[in-house]
Structure 1
Amino acid sequence: MGVMKMKKFARFFLVGAVIIIFLSANASLAALEPDSVKSVWAKLAKTAGIDPSAPIAVVDQKEPNAWVSFSLNKYSITVTKGMLELLDSEDELAGVLAHEIGHIKLNHYGRTVTRSILWGLLFRKVGSSSGIDPLDIGYALAESGFSREQEVEADDYGIELAARAGYDPWGLVRALEKMKEAGYETSPSGFNSHPPTDRRLIHVRNKAAEVSTRY
C-alpha cells in the first residue's frame, strides 16, 4: 500500500473511531428504556425474596417518581417516564426500585394502616369540643412523622439490597442528586412525608459509603 493510501486509511480510521466514541458517549446519556424497569426489578425482587412477577407500569408523567401501590396482599410498581429520562444508568434505577422494595419488605403498608386506625380513635375522642377537626391534624402530623422514619428505613434497606444484587450502592445517591439538580426536592416542613432532601442526601451518602466497604 502506498504512502498516500496509508495516510487516507489512517485518517478514515481515526474519523471512524471518533464517531464511535461520540455515539457511545451519547448512548450512555440516553433515557432508560421501560424494559429496564422489568429487568432491574426482577433481579432485585429475586435477591429480596419477593415475587418478581408483580405488575409494573411506566406512566407518561414528566415528574421523576416511582411508587408501590398495595391492594390487600398484592402490590404493583409504577415508574414515570420522567424518572427514566432523568436517570443515566441501571445502577441509579436499581437504587430507586430497591427503595420501593424496602417499603414492601419492611411492612410499611401494614404498619401505616394500623397506625392510622389508632390515631383516628385517639383524635376522635377530643374532636367534638373544637372548631378544628383534630382527626385531620392527627393524620397529617402522625403520618408525616412516621412516614419520614419509613423513608429512611427504605433508603437504608434499598442501598443494602442494590449492593447485594450486584448494583452500585451509590445509585440511589446519584438518583436523588439528579432529582435535586432538576428542581425536585423536599423542603423542611412538618407536613412533608419525605425527609428534607439535603438531610436525606447526607444520610444516604453515609450509608452508601458504609455499604461500599462490604461489597
Structure 2
Amino acid sequence: MLEHVTSDAEIAFLIGREIGHIVAQHYAENLTISYCIEILMAILNPIGLWDAFRNEYGTPVAHILLAQEFEADYIGIRLSALAGYDPREAPKFLEKIDEFWVANIVSPTPKRRAKYLSSPENMWQPLSIYLRGCLKQDK
C-alpha cells in the first residue's frame, strides 16, 4: 500500500488507522473470538452439530473483522484530522488503491471503506476537528 502513497495526509491516515486497531483493542478482541470459537467447536463437534452451526451462521469471525476495518478507518481519519491533515483525503486514497486491492473475505474493499468514510455521518466530526484546527492556525 505504501507504494501508492503520494502525500503526508495519506501517510497520516495509514498510521492513524493502524493506531486505530490498537486503540480499539482488535488484537485482544480477535483472541477472545478465536478462543470462543474453539470452545464452541469442542462442544458442538463431538455431538455432530458444528457443521450445522457453521452452515446456519457462516463464519462469525468474518463479520467482526469487517466491522474492525471500518472502525480502524474511522479512528484513522479522526487521528489524522487531529494531526492537522484533511480527513477528506482518506476516502480519495482508498478509492485510488481500490484497483490494486486483492480480494479478501475478511476485509472490505477500499472502495466500500471510502464510501463509508465519505458519508456525512462519518465525515462531519473529523472534518470539524480539521477545520477548527485550520481556524486556530489562521489567528
Return the TM-score normalized by structure 1: 0.51
> Residues of 2 paired with 1:161 and 1:152: CA distance?
14
- Residue equivalent to 1:199: 112
Is this contact kept in 2: 1:98–1:161, CA < 8 A?
yes
Give the alignment's Cα RMSD to 1 decimal.
2.5
Deviation string 1:92-132 (CA, Å, 9 cap, x unpaired) is: 111111101000011111111011101110122121355x9
Deviation string 1:46-94 (CA, Å, 9 cap, x unpaired) is: xxxxxxxxxxxxxxxxxx2xxxxxxxxxxxxxxxxxx2x3111010111
Is this contact kept in 1: 2:66–2:107, CA < 8 A?
yes
Bigger fraction of residues in helix:
2
1:128 and 2:41 equivalent? no
> Residues of 1 paired with 2:126 and 2:16: CA distance?
14
Superposition deviation, residue 144 in structure 1:
0.9
Superposition deviation, residue 196 in structure 1:
3.6
- Residue equivalent to 1:9: none
Bigger fraction of residues in strand:
1
Task: Report the residue type matching 1:166 in the other structure.
Answer: G
Return the TM-score normalized by structure 2: 0.76
Q: 1:86 to 1:198 in 2, by over 3 A?
A: closer
Misfit runs of 4+, over 3 Å: none
Superposition deviation, residue 186 in structure 1:
4.2
> Residues of 2 paired with 1:87 and 1:153: CA distance?
21
Whose RCO is larger (CA < 8 A, sep 6+)?
A: 2
| 1:35-184 pair list within 5 angstroms | 64=1, 83=2, 85-130=3-48, 134=51, 141-180=59-98, 182-184=99-101
> Residues of 2 paired with 1:154 and 1:165: CA distance?
16
Superposition deviation, residue 163 in structure 1:
0.4
Higher-Rg member (1/2): 1
Deviation string 1:160-183 (CA, Å, 9 cap, x unpaired) is: 011001112123212211111x33
Task: Report the residue type matching 2:16 in the other structure.
Answer: A
> Residues of 2 paired with 1:124 and 1:171: CA distance?
46
Which sections of structure 1, spanning at least 5 residues, go unmatched?
1-63, 65-82
Is this contact kept in 2: 1:96–1:175, CA < 8 A?
no
Percent identity between the two aligned chains: 28
